[in-house]
Structure 1
Amino acid sequence: MKILSPVPVVSHAHDKTALSVNVNKVALLRNSRHLDIPSVLRAAELCLEAGAQGITVHPRPDERHIRRDDVFELAALMKDWPDREFNIEGNPFQNLMDFVHDLAARGLPLHQCTFVPDSEDQFTSDHGWSFPEDAERLRPLIQQAHDRRVRVSLFMDPVPEAMAAAKAVGADRVEFYTETYARAWAGSEKAKVLARFTLAAQAAAAAGLGINAGHDLNRDNLTEFVREVPGVLEVSIGHALIADALELGYAATVRSYLASIDRAFVSA
């Protein structure tokens, strides 16, 4: 009898850092009227057609942007893109695990869930999990995701000492919260901040964790982050990318972000 791995493996055509497009801001604009435009589903489709390796959503309990129906419609779309990944972010103590369970029950794809410790009324994600404080309550929820063959990434600050603890509770990856890097990028503290991410990435790799990153990454700062921080498997980008798409269009914007990633892998 063949034993299945608890976490599905998707082989990307892109052999470098993958780009997952967060479409929350498309939903936020749509929700400002009752016309169902712009279409979240069409935005995701255009980004995938342009080469994005994944789609990310962060459905909050108040549905101020991504709605419950969006999640299932996007998951159905992803069945047509078997070489791409669907990632859902959220707090596992709010509504995230409902989606993990319901998507599995419907036979719809979910490749990764990113556990984020935000409160229901929080404006945006602004910190990672704490260890050992959060360890025991995260462990059974990570196992629930694994039981449904879903990879788990923990949203984390770049704290090297916490990486082994994240692995110990069962996480497959960590997603580095990169706002501190984005704020420092144009200033004198950039090198010091990047060094913290590099050390955290080295600690994560040593612990056996994959590395994702996201929050305030953009076309200006993305190349340097991917070049300097070792082993970044995926970046999840929403706000800046959708803002750029308002000027450039989805396809040109996605291609521009992919080019920013490619430049990180060009030999000096």
Structure 2
Amino acid sequence: MTKLSVNINKVATLRNARGGNNPDVLAVAHDVEMFGAQGITVHPRPDERHIRYQDVRDLKPLITTEFNIEGNPIDSFVDLVLEVIPKQVTLVPDGHDQITSNHGWDTIENKGFLTDICKTFRDAGIRTSIFVDPDPKMVEGAKACGADRVELYTEPYASQYAADRAAAIAPFIAAAEEARRVGLGLNAGHDLSLENLQYFHEMIPWTDEVSIGHALICDALYLGLQETIKQYLLALK
């Protein structure tokens, strides 16, 4: 079964826009789990414009499902992950001023750096996933770096889905098959939604986990959080 990990960054964005603690990030994480999601994802950035480092610390003892922390492995991020010890860390090549993630790692060019980072986290007992574009060479490179999984950057799939979903999914199938061939676990995320998730899952049913935040929180404004999570889980069956 493909697990649903809910990225709660947007909840923190809304909280930070007004100050105070409304909405309560910790309470939302609890409710997300109670409504059936199998994981919580956060992506703390150095400017803390949404999830703050302290949120990550506060969430750890409360989460009963899988905790996934994603981000660029700068020194402060590495220190935070080693302090918190989540189930999974996802390495994302974000610049400090990026609005959102927009590409995966070049696992060949950055092999030395990523190999050292993967070893650091794996020595701490943390499953390590590398965020990559849907390119079999990048997937193979992630294996060479010592990663446990890759997360496929799915924005290109989402943006092309309406025009030609078969063409949109094709490179992701190739990358997913390479992950399976080399023995890597498979995650996916970025702009997956109720519109395109079911087809993605039908075509790549061996996906271990999808991480979904922006679209899910937007849907919850209309459907409510509980019903939204129910519908995303149904799309993964």
**Residue 219 of structure 1 pairs with residue 204 of structure 2:** no
Paired position in structure 2 for 1:245: 220
Aligned to 1:77, the other structure's residue is in SS state: coil
Give CA-to-partner distance per residue, 1:15-70, whole Å, 9 cap, x none.
x1000000000000000112210011111111100110000000000000001111
User: How far apart are 1:97 and its partner, in Å?
Assistant: 0.7
CA distance, structure 1, for counterparts of residue 124 and residue 207 of structure 2: 25
Determine which of 156, 170, 177 is the counterpart of 2:153: 177
Asked if the contact 1:154–1:173 (Cα under 8 Å) also holds between the matched residues in 2, the reply is yes
**Residue 129 of structure 1 pairs with residue 114 of structure 2:** no
**Residue 97 of structure 1 pairs with residue 78 of structure 2:** yes
Asked if the contact 1:43–1:250 (Cα under 8 Å) also holds between the matched residues in 2, the reply is no
Determine which of 118, 134, 142 is the counterpart of 1:158: 134
- Higher mean displacement: 21-30 or 91-100: 91-100
Paired position in structure 2 for 1:33: 18
Structure 1 consecutive aligned stretches of length 4 or more whose deviation exceeds 2 Å: 93-96
User: How far apart are 1:96 and its partner, in Å?
Assistant: 2.2
Aligned to 2:219, the other structure's residue is in SS state: helix
Query: In structure 2, what residue type is equivalent to 1:168?
Result: A
User: How far apart are 1:212 and its partner, in Å?
Assistant: 0.2
CA distance, structure 1, for counterparts of residue 29 and residue 48 of structure 2: 18
CA distance, structure 2, for counterparts of residue 47 and residue 151 of structure 1: 22
Query: In structure 1, what residue type is equivalent to 2:108?
Result: P
Paired position in structure 2 for 1:259: 234
User: How far apart are 1:95 and its partner, in Å?
Assistant: 3.2
CA distance, structure 2, for counterparts of residue 94 and residue 255 of structure 1: 38
Give CA-to-partner distance per residue, 1:221-254, whole Å, 9 cap, x none.
0000011124200000000001111222211111
CA distance, structure 2, for counterparts of residue 90 and residue 207 of structure 1: 24
**Residue 86 of structure 1 pairs with residue 71 of structure 2:** no
Aligned to 2:142, the other structure's residue is in SS state: helix
TM-score normalised to structure 2 length:
0.97
Aligned to 1:253, the other structure's residue is in SS state: helix
CA RMSD after TM alignment: 1.0
Aligned to 2:62, the other structure's residue is in SS state: helix
CA distance, structure 2, for counterparts of residue 26 and residue 95 of structure 1: 23
CA distance, structure 1, for counterparts of residue 5 and residue 204 of structure 2: 18
Larger radius of gyration: 1
Asked if the contact 2:154–2:189 (Cα under 8 Å) also holds between the matched residues in 1, the reply is yes
CA distance, structure 1, for counterparts of residue 120 and residue 75 of structure 2: 15
Query: In structure 2, what residue type is equivalent to 1:202?
Result: E
Paired position in structure 1 for 2:59: 74
Asked if the contact 1:198–1:230 (Cα under 8 Å) also holds between the matched residues in 2, the reply is no
Determine which of 108, 111, 123 is the counterpart of 1:147: 123
Give CA-to-partner distance per residue, 1:115-152, whole Å, 9 cap, x none.
00010011100000003111101111111101110000
Aligned to 1:217, the other structure's residue is in SS state: coil
> In the superposition, relative to structure 1, how do residues 94 and 216 fare at CA in structure 2: closer, same or farther (>3 Å)?
farther
Paired position in structure 2 for 1:60: 45
CA distance, structure 2, for counterparts of residue 193 and residue 242 of structure 1: 24
Task: Provide the identity percentage.
Answer: 51
CA distance, structure 1, for counterparts of residue 115 and residue 126 of structure 2: 14
Aligned to 2:151, the other structure's residue is in SS state: strand
